[in-house]
Every structure is written in C-alpha cells, then in structure tokens.
Structure 1
C-alpha cells in the first residue's frame, strides 16, 4: 500500500498546492484537491470553515436547515440528495460538504448573508427555485469548491452587496443560462466599490449561456485557468468600470470569450493574457492598464492543458 501511494504521488508531482496564500498550479492539478483555498479566500485572515472536531451528518431537510443556521462552528456533512424549498441560511464558521459524489440539494439553495468563514464543497445543486448559492450583505471569506451546479431558476453562484475575499474553484456548471453574477445592480456602487474581490479558477462552464462571471465595480477580479466549452452568449463580461484579468483560460466554441458591455450597464475594463482558443472569437479588451494587480503570488497552469485538467478534476467526487 505504501509503495502504491508513493507511485501515485510521483505520477502526479505537479499538483496544485497553496502555501501562504500563493496559488501554484501544475499540469496535473486535477488529481490533487486543495486542502485549503487558493486566491482571494486565502487572504483577509484566510478561510478555514467550521470545526473539524464538531461534525453532524444530515439526511433530511429539517436537519439540514437546523445545522446550517446553527451558531456552532461545525462541519455539516450532507448524505444523499435532499429536497428543500427556498433558500436555506448558512451561518458563519461552517464547512458544508457532500458525502460521495451524488449528495446535495434539489429545489432550493443556500443564502449567505453578512457571514464569514464558510466552505461549500463536493455538493450537487440542481433545480433551485431561486439562486443555488447566493452571497450578499458583506459576506467575506468563502470558498466554493468542487460542486456540480445546474438548472437553477436564477444564478448558480451569485456574489453581491459588498461581499469579498471569495474563491470559486473546480466547479462544474451545466444546463443553465445565467451562471455567475458578481455585483447585482448598476446603482450599488457605494456598497460594492473596493469589494467583490473573487478568484475564479479551474471551473468548467459546460454549455452554459452567460455570466461566467458578469462583473460590476470589482477590481481586480481574477479569472484564471477555467475551461469554457460551447458557450451560448458570452464568456466573461466586465461592466461598470470593473477590472477583470482573464488569464490562461481555454475557450472552445465560444463566439465572444470576453465582452466589456452587456445589458444597460456602462462598460468595464478587461485585461487578457495567453488564453487558448479553439473555434472561438477574439477577446474584447478595454483599458487593461486600469485593471489592478493581483494581490497574491501564483504560477499559472499552461493554457493548452487547462481543458484536460478541468474536465478531469471539476465537479463532485474529486476531493
């Protein structure tokens, strides 16, 4: 057993690791799930989630609702698919994690409002009547990792109203229109300016239509090493003077990888670097020099390997 383990480690020696907030990505990143968040969620004191010493396993909607809203720092394990109605509130200091590859919620979603230090991993979210995961009202330090999200009514992962220091990583999004909103309204600049800092890394946007993400006000937002396949409308949108750095992603069958205006919003700013494109259009860029520097150190994965890495590693059952 020990020999086999050493062989596996040697075979995947280029794995992802996070050290002191640094993001280090290797070509075989898909096989090694991080034990702590990379990117923005590693800053501002870090994101550790709930206590690993206090663990509750839930199999019903009532037990799930109670565990998520409890003031206790704890790990909440969801076993099986639980049918819920509406948005369940998640309190601070929680790790919410699925058991196996097929556990999660259907019919509703999670609402994080004014809370801090939450981890959501390895869960299936489908058929939500509103958002699947919603962050609002200055929620900070959240890690959303290795989930499978589809077929919601509104957003799959929406981050708004001054929320900050969030990492969205290794998620598989499919069968959906409006995927990820970052900043909900053109008139909310007073609350959002200087906040909404998010790292999107190693996500698979699989046949979805728009908002991957759709950004207002935030600067900088880091969109790194994601795989976009068969996107209907556009990949990344920057509006309302936001600053988005779109770096070393893999765009396949995407007519508009990046846009700087959508809807009635004023344009935003986009800087691009070394994105890999297959049967895809040219990125739209604007005022790249105004996009602020990324505040953490990282070594990105080569753009040409992103597709294989993300397809192998994104979604549930990989941690």
Structure 2
C-alpha cells in the first residue's frame, strides 16, 4: 500500500480504534508497524484523527510550512524534502503533518504544540533543533507522534508538559542524543500536571541515547510498552514526583539501569514492571507498584523476546 493511501486511511479510519479504546500490538510482524490510527491514550477522549484528508497541502519551503502549520484550516500538511527552519513553529489544532518518503522533515528548529487538540505528526525527520524537536505543552490533548526519526537536538526530542494529556508516542527512532523525552517539566508544577500527562510509549527505538526515555513527573498512569532500548548510557525510564509508571514487556540491551525511581533533585515516583527482557543489563528499580493506576484501555502486548526485531524493522520513517 502506498504512503499516500495509508495517509488517507489514517484520517478516515482513526475513529474506529478510538471508539473501542483498544491497543492491539500482538505478534511480531511488520504489519504492526503501520497502524492507521493511534493506539493507547491518544485513542481515548474522543480519539485522534488529525487534519482533513480532503484538504491537503504540500510544502517545500520554510515559509510555506510555517503558514500551513499555523492555519486554522483542518488539513493534512505534506512535508516534501528536509526543510531548514529557525526557532519553533507553532502547530494549530486539527492537523496531520506527514513527511513524503523517508527523508523529509525539518532541521535547525522544532514544532511547538501549545494548547491545541487533535494533531498527528508522522513520518518526519527532526534533526539539529536549536531547542526542542517536538514540544507538547499548555494543555494540548489528543496528540499522536508516530514513525518519526529524531536526533541531535539541543534540548528534548519529544517533551510533553504543562497539563497536556491523551498522547501516544509510537514507532519513533531516537538516536545521537542525550536528554530524549521529558514528561512533566518541573518539580513545582503539580497543580497543572496532576490528573494529566497520560501518555502511551509503544514500539519506540531508543538507540544509543543517554537518558529520559521518558523521565516522568506527576503523571499516573504512564504506559511504557514494547519499546527497544539499546546501548543506553545513563538510564531507561525514570519515575519521579509520585508519578505512576508501568514498564511492560520492553527489551533492554546493554542498559545499566533499565528503570529508576529517582533522578536529579526530584522526589521519588512509583514504578511497576512486568516481563521486561534484559540482555547485559542491570536490575530494574521498582517502588509502590500498587500505587500505579490501572491502564484504562484494552490491549494485547507483544512477547518481550520479539520486541527487538519488530521495533528495529518498523520504527522510524519510511515504514508507513
């Protein structure tokens, strides 16, 4: 099936799984690398359908990209080529932003989703950002970040904060970077973040990155499922500030600290683990697993031993 056809299906059928609230990641097969709608938290709260598949614009320049992203029109924005931008470009609600082919995206800057709803970012390269590559903040809801390639940013590659909610981060390839993903930006923001920041991280490849995969504050529950961690320098997943994180059936290879329950100056968080597979990796830290809230959607997890093959075959651009 062509990428353009999958794009149309993604917009047209996104409500199907959303209405069921289901997450089916099942067997290790490349077919699972191209869901037509988001799984996990982004399938709840009315679902995440992105922009209209009937209103499509293709952009090749920074000025055209900035204009299309900020437009109030519900639309699909096709990014053709690697576009150099400066700073953070705002993305309006009801947008699907999708790269054409495997090498399209942005370099030099990033995308800012602030106070928006119903946005899909897929098949995009993000590299050399002067700040964050993707910043989701200020109560943004129903966001799907899927099948992107992210590297060499100045700050976070995918940061989610300030009361944002119902987000799924899936099938992304993160590499050549240090502080990968924050979930909750500071220890003193509990008033805005408690009861929010619910995110599913599934089938991502953390490839030689150093820390924050993710680093969580306050959120409960956060579901970290079927991801592949390879050659991670500092730690895999961190739960702090009384967060509740469920780390389930991931594959850790050459990771000294797969999970930690405290980092930096933050107070400890709660963390439970289930059936993670470890190769040349250290022990998992757990804390108050009963305090981690139940995952509110149905799902069938992939076997932990097959996660490496599935994720390396399916994560990143050019796979949808």
Segments of 5+ residues of structure 2 without an aligned counterpart are 2-15
RMSD: 1.1
Partner of 1:87: 88
Maintained 8 Å contact 2:28/2:302 = no
Write the mapping of 1:1-319 to structure 2, written as runs, cut at 5 A: 18=17, 20-32=20-32, 33-319=34-320
Number of aligned pairs? 304
Q: CA deviation at 1:28?
A: 2.9
Maintained 8 Å contact 1:24/1:298 = yes
Query: Normalising to structure 1: TM-score of the pair?
Result: 0.94
Separation in 2, partners of 1:283, 1:27: 25
Maintained 8 Å contact 1:132/1:156 = yes
Separation in 2, partners of 1:67, 1:247: 38
Q: CA deviation at 1:27?
A: 2.1
Separation in 1, partners of 2:198, 2:114: 16
Separation in 1, partners of 2:190, 2:313: 38
Segments of 5+ residues of structure 1 without an aligned counterpart are 2-16
Q: CA deviation at 1:24?
A: 1.0
Q: CA deviation at 1:25?
A: 1.4
Runs ≥4 residues deviating over 4 A: none
Maintained 8 Å contact 2:93/2:116 = yes
Q: CA deviation at 1:18?
A: 4.3
Partner of 1:9: none
Maintained 8 Å contact 1:81/1:102 = yes
Separation in 1, partners of 2:249, 2:114: 32
Separation in 1, partners of 2:235, 2:57: 41
Residue 218 of structure 1: SS of its match in structure 2? coil
Residue 67 of structure 2: SS of its match in structure 1? helix
- Deviations, residues 241-298 of structure 1 (Å, cap 9, x unaligned): 0000000000000000000000000000000000000000010000000000000000
Separation in 2, partners of 1:291, 1:27: 27
Q: CA deviation at 1:21?
A: 1.9
Query: Normalising to structure 2: TM-score of the pair?
Result: 0.94
Maintained 8 Å contact 1:223/1:244 = yes
- Deviations, residues 208-237 of structure 1 (Å, cap 9, x unaligned): 000000000000000000000000000000
